[in-house]
Amino acid sequence: MINLPSNKEKQKGFTLLEVMVALLVIAVSLGGAVKVIGNAANNASRMNNKAFANWVALNQIAKLRIAKEWPKFGEQKGDSEMAGRKWIWSQKSIKTDDDNIRRIEMSVWSEDDQKSSPFVTVVGFLPKP
């Protein structure tokens, strides 16, 4: 003979509804955690690119200072290698109010990402040599 629990005895365990709600809560939490981790990885990569692009721009401006000659007015383009990657730069030489100083705007892109806006644009001023 099978003994069925009476209504007075407490049953142990979870109902199917409770298990489903718990699984839903866990799934939503894990989905949010995965999104946060993905965003953090993307931000770290973007900051890494910005740092290297900034160094490329500063190096190009330093080369202009060392050259001891004024760059021509207008835009010039070139590339440079840093951290095992190729970077594309654009240099704009702009006249200032002072005839003895030129404004240099150096914008830098990754070779892979030339169609978007530059990672950085650094502004420098060169005195007349």
Torsion sign (Cα): 57, 62, 67, 71: positive
10 part of a folded domain: no
> What CATH number has the domain bearing residue 119?
3.30.1300.30
Residue 1 lies in a domain: no
The reply to whether 6 falls in a domain is no
Q: Are 108 and 87 in contact (CB under 8 A)?
A: yes
Contact 108, 118 (CB under 8 A): yes
2 part of a folded domain: no
Number of structural domains in the chain? 1
Spans in the chain with pLDDT lower than 70: 1-11, 114
pLDDT at 125: 94
Is 8 contained in some domain? no
What pLDDT, on a 0 to 100 scale, did the predictor assign at position 62? 94
Domain that holds residue 107: 16-127
Inside any domain, residue 43: yes
pLDDT of residue 46: 87
In contact, 129 and 69? CB cutoff 8 Å: yes
Of the CA atoms within 13 Å of residue 115, those in its CB half-sphere come to 1
The pLDDT assigned to 4 comes to 61
pLDDT of residue 100: 92
Whole-number pLDDT of residue 71: 85
Q: Is 13 left (phi over 0), alpha (psi -120 to 50) or beta?
A: left
